[in-house]
Homo-oligomer: A and B are copies of this chain.
Amino acid sequence: MFELDVRSRKPIYEQLVERLKELIITEVLTADEQLPSVRTLAHQLTINPNTIQKAYRELESQGYIYSIKGKGSFISPATPNLNSEKIEKVKNELSKLLSEAIYLGITKDELFKMIQELEAAIGGGVEDDQNP
């Protein structure tokens, strides 16, 4: 479930954050579901608990999970509360990456198809249309 590459340039905690975001976005993990405890996951991945905690804290500050002292860590309900700052940041990153993709010869059609498929897989957090 969590494939970590300890040799990667990418810090372990960032890899964890990415992977967990992915599982949340694709609704493999759903609202209020409990995550493995810091210690349990640390043991499973043979990683230091502090590193797990760092990942959980980052996810919490990004609004993807919430942690309760003495109880555990849980998936946050999907937030249609438009964090406009965060949206701007993602749009900005997208702009750069899409430009590079187009430059590398990935066609508009391929990109459109990619979006269609991703949206289908995710289920679309917010509907484009009123009548489903």
Q: Oligomeric state, in number of copies?
A: 4
Of the residues B25, B68, B79, B99, contact of A26 by C-beta under 8 Å: B99
- A102 with B124: in contact, given A114-B95, A115-B112 (CB under 8 Å)? yes
Q: How far is the CA of A22 from the CA of B116 in the complex (A)?
A: 27
Chain B hits for A47, CB < 8 A: none
Question: B101 near A90 (CB under 8 angstroms)?
Answer: yes
0/1 string, A78-106, CB within 8 A of B gives 1: 11101100110011011111111111111
Q: Give A107 Cβ to nearest chain B Cβ, in Å.
A: 5
Residue of B nearest to A7 (CB): B66
Q: What are the 7 closest A-B residue pairs judged by CB atoms, nearest first?
A: A105-B126, A25-B103, A103-B125, A107-B128, A25-B99, A79-B105, A7-B66
